């Protein structure tokens, strides 16, 4: 679905007037491949280049060196941009910059019109996506009158309604309460499993990525690691090195194992910890 | 009492739709030097509430007393309140507006009447405290990553040396390391006597750092207590749509499944001990 080969990107920082702009390298020879229909996550410290990379996936930024392909379309800024944006839909970190409608519903409808969704399908898609994020009661509200989390939900509903081939969520859940956060991840997984939509999740919440097919770890503009959640979470030292951490339950299981409980590590979910504890008790040979 | 709030009500003027009674008869007080977290589902009134604390929004009825004096009094100097009660917004973009990071952080101190040199000194120190390095000082705040922007916004408020620091979801968008750094800074400030009030959706961070948690629900405060007290009330949490911290949830599930852990805890070390003890207690063969 998406392939990045040797991608380099630098921003020009202008800063104080009169001074020469400085070039800041945000992506440093990034190679990665995302298969169609997969659910992948990108994690990394603040400023590691996650958003910059994501903006390459729908042609908001173009590589200074190297190439990004969406299917077989290179994002070189030469004419296939509209096609690329039809395929890849992005939800940004700050929803203020992407909400434009006068009401929540209009905002979602606007996105659908842009994607040339037939009018007769629009209402149903709007209803479904509002329901999915739990925003139905605010449908006629002016987006300016929403709370922070409700704005994020509006942006997510807009992207979900479009049902693109690839959905990029760039910290789209950063301001949601735990239940809403879980709900959004559930919706994304459902779109992935049932409709084969490729999902790219960028997040600082480690508990959101435990179901990904693959996790990419970024550090200072470089993809330094990639692997399945079990692989990535097997080594607490590795994550710490990159300013990241284990989910709480994973840490707890590490501690219990160190104190002698024969747990199979890493444990990624409370449910899994419980199962293993019950198994150990049955076996009788705990400590 | 440092801040004393009585029967506060606030309704947003309707935008064509229905008007929202966002704060409903809020009565609560905050002691000097305390560390309080505010939780609650999206739209429960948290941001609306904290925007009242420095007079940014004015209640329809009720009163807020700061150091014994009503901030709604005719002669009350709201501008001085804004210096004493620093508010960091939910969206950092909403409070960054200068050309460079350093100017932005120096804006508050300048505004308080400090000369440029002193103001920049204060700004540098605040930026350093949130982990923004010299190399970003001359960047435009809009040329930063999401997490960097948030740290600059926090520094801008810190630079004014407020007595009360109110932060609306300050850790949203911060990486785990930066989060820990921010919270140890807040703890340090609490040690220096600063009162901390923050909104958070992370039950983990509330459990680890706050002494008290207020839970908002439909514009009211529906729970008020220590994190352990509040989070172990599963029934009420379910009703209002909140979740336990993950560690506590583990313990709760383990107990439900018949492994006799004694009590619930949010702390990893305590959880470890309790689970080990329960597992040693023999199997139910
Ligand atoms: N518009 C811009 N102009 C100049 N530099 C920028 C711009 N946007 C980002 N940068 C810089 O590029 C680097 C990568 O930023 P990016 O936004 O991709 O990070 P990120 O991994 O998404 O971080 P976060 O977790 O904080 O959102 C950072 O050092 C940042 O300061
Ligand atoms: N400017 C506004 N005009 C009208 N209504 C508003 C405005 N801002 C917020 N509201 C409404 O007031 C209620 C409380 O909003 P508030 O922003 O206080 O919620 P919150 O608890 O901070 O939520 P979040 O966790 O999503 O930030 C919400 O139902 C919201 O729709
Ligand atoms: Mg980012
Ligand atoms: Mg809010």
DSSP code per residue over A149-217: HHHHHHHHHHHHHH--SEEEEESTTTTS-HHHHHHHHHHHHHHHHHH--EEEEE-S-GGGSTT-SEEEE
Q: pLDDT averaged over chain B?
A: 92
**Rounded CA separation A161/A174 (Å):** 20
Residue that finishes a domain, picked among A231, A258, A279? A231
Q: How many CB atoms neighbour CB B163 within 10 A? A: 16
> CATH number for the domain including A222?
3.40.50.300
pLDDT at B21 over 50: yes
Residue that finishes a domain, picked among A205, A231, A257? A231
Number of domains in chain A: 2
Q: Which residues, numbered 156 to 175 in chain B, qualify as contacts with chain A under a Cβ-Cβ cut-off of 8 Å?
A: 168-169, 172-175
**Rounded CA separation A101/A157 (Å):** 13
By mean pLDDT, which of A75-84, B57-66, B165-174, B189-198 is the weakest? A75-84
Q: Of B240, B250, B244, which Cα lies nearest the Cα of B231?
A: B244
Residue A37 shares a structural domain with residue A92? yes
Note whether A243 and B175 are within 8 A (CB): yes
User: What are the tens digits of pLDDT across the range B247-282?
Assistant: 999 999 999 999 999 988 888 999 999 999 999 875
Chain A residues with CB inside 8 Å of B179's CB? 204
pLDDT level of residue B142 (50, 70, 90 thresholds): confident
For the stretch A15-24, what's the b/e string if a residue is b when 16 or more beta carbons lie within 10 angstroms of its beta carbon?
beeeeeeeeb
Interaxial angle between packed helices B146-158 and B101-111, expressed in degrees from 0 to 180 and rounded to the nearest 10: 20
pLDDT at B77 over 90: yes
pLDDT for residue B18: 73
pLDDT for residue A25: 94
Residue A119 shares a structural domain with residue A254? no
- Give the mean model confidence (pLDDT) for residues B234-246: 93
pLDDT at B65 over 60: yes
**Rounded CA separation A162/A160 (Å):** 5
Q: Of B27, B77, B267, B56, which Cα lies nearest the Cα of B168?
A: B56
Residue A70 shares a structural domain with residue A124? yes
Residue A180 shares a structural domain with residue A270? no
Note whether A88 and A163 are within 8 A (CB): no
How far does CA B8 lie from the centroid of its chain? 19
Q: Is A236 contained in some domain?
A: no
Q: Is the full-model pTM beyond 0.90? A: yes
Q: How many CB atoms neighbour CB B77 within 10 A? A: 11
B203 touches chain A (CB under 8 A): yes
What's the average pLDDT block by block, 10 residues per block, for chain A (287 residues)?
A: 96 72 92 96 96 94 94 83 89 78 91 87 93 91 90 92 94 92 93 95 95 97 96 91 93 94 94 95 65
Q: A220: which 2 tokens? A: 């200072």
pLDDT at B213 over 70: yes
**Rounded CA separation B47/B38 (Å):** 10
**Rounded CA separation A162/A150 (Å):** 19
pLDDT for residue B32: 97
Q: Is A237 contained in some domain?
A: no
Q: Of A126, A94, A88, A121, which Cα lies nearest the Cα of A108?
A: A126
Q: B103: which 2 tokens? A: 């100017």
pLDDT for residue A286: 46
Residue A199 shares a structural domain with residue A274? no
The count of residues in chain A is: 287
Q: Quick check: helix, strand or coil at residue B97? A: coil
Q: Can you tell me which residue has the tokens 């395929």?
A: A87
Residue A153 shares a structural domain with residue A260? no
Domain that holds residue A54: 2-231
Measure B272 CA to nearest chain A CA, in Å.
Answer: 6
Residue A94 shares a structural domain with residue A175? yes
Nearest alpha carbon, ligand 2 atom 11: A146
Note whether B53 and B29 are within 8 A (CB): no
As a three-state string, the secondary structure of B28-80 is EEECCCCEEEEECCCCCCHHHHHHHHCCCCCCCEEEEEECCEECCCCCCCHHH
Chain A residues with CB inside 8 Å of B168's CB? 148
Residue A184 shares a structural domain with residue A256? no
pLDDT at B284 over 60: no
pLDDT for residue A18: 65
Residue A168 shares a structural domain with residue A268? no
Give this complex's ipTM.
0.90
* CATH superfamily membership of B3-244: P-loop containing nucleotide triphosphate hydrolases (3.40.50.300)
For the stretch A219-255, what's the b/e string if a residue is b when 16 or more beta carbons lie within 10 angstroms of its beta carbon?
bebbbebbeebeebbbebebbeebbbbbbbbbbbbbb
CB within 8 Å: B178 and A243 = yes
Measure A254 CA to nearest chain B CA, in Å.
Answer: 10
Residue A87 shares a structural domain with residue A28? yes
Distances (CA, A) of A78 to A8, A73, B210, B211, B282: 18, 10, 53, 57, 69
B259 touches chain A (CB under 8 A): yes
Q: Is A238 contained in some domain?
A: no
Residue A194 shares a structural domain with residue A254? no
Nearest alpha carbon, ligand 1 atom 28: A47
Residue A83 shares a structural domain with residue A202? yes
Tell which phi-psi region holds residue B97, choosing left (phi > 0), alpha (psi between -120 and 50) or beta. Answer: alpha
Note whether A263 and A253 are within 8 A (CB): yes
Dihedral angle sign, alpha carbons of residues B122, B126, B131, B135 = negative
């Amino acid at each position: 679905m998406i392939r990045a080969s040797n991608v380099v990107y630098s921003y020009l920082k202008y800063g104080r007037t009169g001074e020469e702009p400085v070039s800041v390298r945000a992506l440093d020879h990034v190679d990665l491949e995302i298969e169609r229909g997969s659910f992948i996550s990108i994690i990394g410290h603040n400023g590691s280049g996650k958003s910059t990379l994501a903006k390459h996936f729908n042609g908001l930024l173009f590589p200074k060196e190297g190439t990004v392909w969406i299917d077989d379309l290179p994002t070189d800024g030469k004419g296939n941009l509209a096609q690329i944006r039809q395929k890849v839909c992005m939800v940004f970190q700050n929803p203020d910059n992407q909400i434009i409608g006068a009401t929540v519903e209009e905002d979602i409808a606007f996105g659908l019109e842009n994607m040339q969704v037939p009018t007769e399908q629009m209402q149903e898609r709007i209803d479904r996506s509002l329901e999915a994020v739990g925003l139905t009661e605010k449908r006629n509200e002016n987006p300016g009158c929403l709370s922070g989390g409700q704005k994020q939900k509006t942006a997510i509903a807009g992207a979900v309604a479009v049902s693109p081939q690839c959905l990029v969520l760039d910290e789209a859940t950063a301001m949601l309460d735990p239940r809403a956060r879980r709900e959004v991840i559930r919706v994304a997984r459902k779109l992935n499993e049932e409709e084969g939509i490729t999902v790219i999740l960028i997040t600082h919440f480690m508990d959101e990525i435990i179901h990904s097919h693959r996790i990419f770890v970024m550090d200072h503009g470089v993809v330094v690691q990639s692997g399945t959640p079990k692989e990535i979470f097997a080594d607490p030292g590795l994550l710490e090195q990159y300013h990241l951490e284990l989910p709480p339950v994973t840490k707890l299981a590490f501690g219990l194992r160190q104190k002698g409980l024969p747990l199979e590590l890493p444990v990624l979910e409370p449910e899994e910890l419980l199962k293993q504890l019950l198994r150990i008790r049955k076996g009788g040979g705990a400590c | 009492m440092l801040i004393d709030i009585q029967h506060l009500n606030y309704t947003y003027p309707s935008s064509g739709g229905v008007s929202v009674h966002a704060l409903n008869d809020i009565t609560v007080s905050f002691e000097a030097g305390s560390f309080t977290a505010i939780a609650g589902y999206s739209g429960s009134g948290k941001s609306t509430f904290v925007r009242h604390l420095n007079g940014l929004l004015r209640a329809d009825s009720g009163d807020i007393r700061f150091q014994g004096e009503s901030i709604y009094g005719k002669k009350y100097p709201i501008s001085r309140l804004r210096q004493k009660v620093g508010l960091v917004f939910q969206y950092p973009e909403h409070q960054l507006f200068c050309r460079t990071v350093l100017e932005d952080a120096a804006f508050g101190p300048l505004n308080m009447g400090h000369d440029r040199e002193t103001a920049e000194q204060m700004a540098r120190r605040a930026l350093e405290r949130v982990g923004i390095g010299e190399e970003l000082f001359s960047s435009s705040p809009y040329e930063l990553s999401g997490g960097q922007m948030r740290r600059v916004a926090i520094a801008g408020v810190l630079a004014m040396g407020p007595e009360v620091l109110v932060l609306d979801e300050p850790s949203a968008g911060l990486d785990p390391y930066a989060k820990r750094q921010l919270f140890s800074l807040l703890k340090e400030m609490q040690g220096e006597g600063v009162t901390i009030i923050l909104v958070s959706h992370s039950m983990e961070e509330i459990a680890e750092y706050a002494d008290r948690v207020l839970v908002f629900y439909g514009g009211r405060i529906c729970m008020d207590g220590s994190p352990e007290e509040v989070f172990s009330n599963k029934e009420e949490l379910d009703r209002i749509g909140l979740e336990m911290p993950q560690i506590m949830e583990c313990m709760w599930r383990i107990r439900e499944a018949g492994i006799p852990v004694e009590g619930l805890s949010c702390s990893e070390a305590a959880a470890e001990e309790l689970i080990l003890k329960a597992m040693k207690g023999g199997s139910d063969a």
